[in-house]
Chain A
Amino acid sequence: MTTTPPPVQVVLPAGRSEGDVAATVRATKRRLTSPWATVAAIVLATVWTIPTFGLLVTSFRPAADINSTGWWTVLTNPNFTLENYRTVLATDSSQSLLPFVINSVVIAVPSVVLPIFLATLAAYSFAWMQFRGRDALFVAVFALQVVPIQVTLIPLLSLYADIGVAGTFWAVWISHTMFGLPLAVFLLHNFMREIPGELVEAARVDGAAHVTVFFRLMLPLLKPALAAFGIYQFLWVWNDLLVALTFAGSSNQVAPMTVALFNLTGTRGSQWFLLSAGAFVSIIVPAIVFLALQRYFVRGLLAGSVKG
């Protein structure tokens, strides 16, 4: 499970277009930027930001200071160090979290690429190919989204042990791929249906094979959708604890950052110099991805509404 809620299908009020939205913005701008609203927004934004800010400041303070005074005292007594990050990212320390960072990367890339590609293939056939039982099968795939991954964990664990991949990256990659597929197929199918049918028909009439249509026509047109789902799946995988804890164990051979941090809070819960720096090392990657590609992500979240 992850922080990121699944993209939802949103029905927006009828009868609007991009132009209307702009008009609404102009209309509301005049009225709603009342001083009280501004003050309330600033207060809320501050409350929302302070916890993260406090831990960020803490991660740059010497270990002894962290445990003796509150982080807010840096205002009167500034004393900063990079030592915590050096410990966490050292290449030769037993406290180093670096192997786990590498594991997070190694886990994330295939866990994003595999489901996207498989789902695009499946979504293509659901959208543009005729075969028996197509609609029923699509509904079934869609419905599988409701299956909580908890019900699958233990049988899968035995399955992985049977085929000898338990505790390896393969177990984690395969699991994330399987768990990501229903949503990916559903979303990409929605996007794919928006592509005008005439385009596909024309290409098919010209004698283009499905494989050609898929690569030449679909993939380029789907780029924004692929980006949207890719970001979503990346955040999901990077931030996941349950799947990693179950399938990767906690050795630094396979386990990702989330598991390392989770174990630290359990056994070294008072060592805030490790926890704070470790937390920020794990936060920084998704935060950058998220802020840089926010536009795609929001579009992904609003997947349904794009269709209208």
Chain B
Amino acid sequence: MRHMRKSAGVLAAGAVAALALTACSTGDGETPGDSTDATVDAVEVDCADFEQYGDLSGKTVTIYAGIVAPEDTPYMTSFEPFEECTGATVDYQADKQFEQQILVRAQAGNTPDIAIVPQPGLLAQLVATGTVVPAPEGVAANVDEFWGESWKDLGTVDGTFYAAPSGASVKSLVWYSPTQFEENGYEVPETLDDLMALTEQIAADGNNKPWCAGIASGEATGWPLTDWMEDMVLRVGGPDVYDQWVSHEIAFDSEVPTQALDAVGEYLKNPDYVNGGIGDVSTIATTAFQDAGLPILDGQCSLHRMASFYAANFPEGTDVADDGDVFAFYLPSEDSSTKPVLGAGEFVTAFSDRPEVQALLEFWSTDTWANLKAAASSEETGGGWITANSGLDTDNLVNPIDLLSAEILLDPASEFRFDGSDQMPAAVGSGAFWKESTNWITGQSTADTLSKIEAAWP
């Protein structure tokens, strides 16, 4: 029986303390060998479980991904039991320009064994190069057991299942300050009407503008707006219409998308509502998304719609908790009877069917791995990683935001939908949609914006 390596305890304690996670103390003060802690108990690893993979000594599996330091270390840690029990070596390499490089490498036939692909659209492009191998039986079985149909579909191209999901994130979140809400008597809204009423109330109170937003992100400038719009399509049209919109069965400039973008505009294009602590509407275009939610901390802004991973952008010492400096609530739906959730995730794609690669893929799709990874992330980076694997034990999450996200993801009432721009063809999903959204916030009309994106659809 092996325990997880805990040599990163100092770092983890630092990171956890930095986040001042008062609600959860699992990571704190832990010493090596202390196995009474839930974080570690949950992921005890038995080498007997690995016997099915056989002896893989001397074999190497190469992984290529866009996840760079410091988020890469929990990945390496999560593979250690596999390496120790099977004798195989896992060689993890990351590059920020992964998304460009992997396609070029695949077209040239120079592929790694495994790639962590963050978008279904990119997965489809990779499959089109003919280098991706279908997922082994064992992986398919695990995905059936732990994820379910909709996630499996995301890893399927033209009827063949290729890639198992791994990490996930929740995008339908609105960041706010619990302290500020309490002082002013604001309440977390339950419906979209409540959200608008709250917005009006904050604006009327006049202490600060209600919303803050920023969409600058280098090459990808505009993507936070595409997330906003996707969330609104999900709410205005519902998940089915959302699917039709993403797969282009309805036009990009048809009625529902138009209503959805206008709904975004009611918040973000109203000079009375934005841009709290930053400036006027035009500053949304030039503010880095990393900076855009920070005015919440000094009471200059009350609401910021951004994915779960935004937690990492608050400075050290920020109390992220439902009674702390900042926290997030689920972006409500039209009425509380439905719960559409916008999110994203990454897919484990293999380019080789060598036994050691298949073995790692299978291990990667288990609940054991999911818990190992969650625990490693909790220890080494203070959290920031969740998965939709239903075998995930939420005791392995230390970060309140991770807990909230996992709750939303694993809630049976939730209707999860994957980030649409990640599934659309690149010419739209990472081209016209980003660009025209940016033009929209700097003054272009909704009709012009949507018809230009429609025209860009290949």
CA distance A251 to B100 in the complex (A): 13
**Are B105 and A161 in touch, CB under 8 angstroms?**
yes
The count of residues in chain A whose C-beta lies closer than 8 Å to any C-beta of chain B is 20
Given contacts A161-B110, A162-B110, A268-B288, contact A250 B97 (CB under 8 A): yes
Q: Mark A141-165, 1 if CB is under 8 A from B, else 0.
A: 0000000000000100111011010
Q: Mark B92-116, 1 if CB is under 8 A from A, else 0.
A: 0011110001001101111000000
In chain A, positions 251-276 with a C-beta closer than 8 Å to chain B are 251, 263, 265-270
- Note all chain B residues with C-beta closer than 8 A to A158: 104, 107-108
- Note all chain B residues with C-beta closer than 8 A to A167: 95, 101
Closest 3 CB pairs of A and B: A266-B218, A161-B108, A161-B110
Given contacts A158-B107, A249-B95, A250-B95, contact A267 B290 (CB under 8 A): yes
> Please, could you name 15 A-B residue pairs with CB atoms under 8 Å apart, sorted by A?
A94-B69, A157-B108, A158-B107, A158-B108, A161-B104, A161-B108, A166-B104, A249-B101, A250-B97, A251-B94, A266-B217, A266-B219, A267-B288, A267-B290, A269-B288
What's the minimum C-beta distance from A265 to chain B, rounded to whole angstroms?
8
- Note all chain B residues with C-beta closer than 8 A to A249: 95-97, 101
- Note all chain A residues with C-beta closer than 8 A to B217: 266-267
Q: Mark B171-208, 1 if CB is under 8 A from A, else 0.
A: 00000000000000000000000000000000000000
**Are B104 and A157 in touch, CB under 8 angstroms?**
yes
- Note all chain A residues with C-beta closer than 8 A to B219: 266
- Note all chain A residues with C-beta closer than 8 A to B428: none
- Note all chain B residues with C-beta closer than 8 A to A251: 68, 94-97
**Are A166 and B110 in touch, CB under 8 angstroms?**
yes
- Note all chain B residues with C-beta closer than 8 A to A263: 96, 218
Closest to A248 in B: B97
Q: Is B216 an interface residue (CB 8 A)?
A: yes
**Are A162 and B105 in touch, CB under 8 angstroms?**
no
**Are A94 and B96 in touch, CB under 8 angstroms?**
no
- Note all chain A residues with C-beta closer than 8 A to B110: 161-162, 164, 166
CA distance A5 to B213 in the complex (A): 41
Closest to B97 in A: A249
- Note all chain A residues with C-beta closer than 8 A to B58: none
CA distance A251 to B94 in the complex (A): 8
Partner of B96, one of A164, A250, A268: A250
Q: Is B159 an interface residue (CB 8 A)?
A: no
Q: Is B33 an interface residue (CB 8 A)?
A: no
Q: Is B291 an interface residue (CB 8 A)?
A: yes
**Are B101 and A267 in touch, CB under 8 angstroms?**
no
- Note all chain B residues with C-beta closer than 8 A to A164: 110
Closest to A265 in B: B218
- Note all chain B residues with C-beta closer than 8 A to A250: 95-97
CA distance A18 to B290 in the complex (A): 60
- Note all chain A residues with C-beta closer than 8 A to B412: none
What's the minimum C-beta distance from A103 to chain B, rounded to whole angstroms?
14
In chain B, positions 354-397 with a C-beta closer than 8 Å to chain A are none
Q: Is B70 an interface residue (CB 8 A)?
A: yes
**Are B70 and A267 in touch, CB under 8 angstroms?**
no
- Note all chain B residues with C-beta closer than 8 A to A267: 217-218, 288, 290
- Note all chain B residues with C-beta closer than 8 A to A266: 216-219
CA distance A210 to B198 in the complex (A): 86
**Are B291 and A166 in touch, CB under 8 angstroms?**
no
- Note all chain A residues with C-beta closer than 8 A to B108: 157-159, 161-162, 166
In chain B, positions 219-234 with a C-beta closer than 8 Å to chain A are 219
Closest to B93 in A: A251
Partner of B109, one of A157, A159, A162, A265: A162
CA distance A79 to B85 in the complex (A): 58
**Are B290 and A268 in touch, CB under 8 angstroms?**
yes
CA distance A154 to B361 in the complex (A): 32
CA distance A269 to B292 in the complex (A): 12
CA distance A154 to B103 in the complex (A): 12
In chain B, positions 71-106 with a C-beta closer than 8 Å to chain A are 94-97, 101, 104-105
CA distance A162 to B107 in the complex (A): 10
Known pairs A249-B96, A269-B216 / 20 extra A-B pairs, C-beta < 8 Å: A94-B69, A154-B104, A157-B104, A161-B104, A161-B105, A161-B107, A162-B108, A162-B109, A164-B110, A166-B104, A166-B105, A166-B108, A249-B95, A250-B96, A251-B94, A251-B96, A265-B218, A268-B290, A269-B288, A270-B287
Closest to A154 in B: B104
CA distance A166 to B97 in the complex (A): 13
- Note all chain A residues with C-beta closer than 8 A to B94: 251
CA distance A161 to B101 in the complex (A): 10
What's the minimum C-beta distance from B224 to chain A, rounded to whole angstroms?
13
Q: Mark B56-75, 1 if CB is under 8 A from A, else 0.
A: 00000000000011100000
What's the minimum C-beta distance from B316 to chain A, rounded to whole angstroms?
14
In chain A, positions 206-258 with a C-beta closer than 8 Å to chain B are 249-251
- Note all chain B residues with C-beta closer than 8 A to A270: 287-288, 291
Closest to B220 in A: A266
- Note all chain A residues with C-beta closer than 8 A to B95: 167, 249-251
- Note all chain B residues with C-beta closer than 8 A to A269: 216, 288
What's the minimum C-beta distance from A164 to chain B, rounded to whole angstroms?
6
Q: Mark A276-301, 1 if CB is under 8 A from B, else 0.
A: 00000000000000000000000000
What's the minimum C-beta distance from A161 to chain B, rounded to whole angstroms?
3
What's the minimum C-beta distance from A96 to chain B, rounded to whole angstroms?
12
Closest to A269 in B: B288
Closest to B219 in A: A266
Closest to A158 in B: B108
- Note all chain A residues with C-beta closer than 8 A to B107: 158, 161
CA distance A251 to B98 in the complex (A): 10
CA distance A265 to B94 in the complex (A): 21
What's the minimum C-beta distance from A67 to chain B, rounded to whole angstroms?
11
What's the minimum C-beta distance from A272 to chain B, rounded to whole angstroms?
12
In chain A, positions 25-81 with a C-beta closer than 8 Å to chain B are none
CA distance A269 to B285 in the complex (A): 12
CA distance A265 to B216 in the complex (A): 10
Closest to A267 in B: B218
CA distance A154 to B107 in the complex (A): 11
- Note all chain A residues with C-beta closer than 8 A to B291: 270
Q: Mark B103-136, 1 if CB is under 8 A from A, else 0.
A: 0110111100000000000000000000000000
What's the minimum C-beta distance from B434 to chain A, rounded to whole angstroms?
13
Closest to A249 in B: B97
What's the minimum C-beta distance from B21 to chain A, rounded to whole angstroms?
22
Closest to B105 in A: A161
What's the minimum C-beta distance from B275 to chain A, rounded to whole angstroms?
14
CA distance A161 to B109 in the complex (A): 8
CA distance A308 to B105 in the complex (A): 50
- Note all chain A residues with C-beta closer than 8 A to B96: 249-251, 263
- Note all chain B residues with C-beta closer than 8 A to A166: 101, 104-105, 108, 110
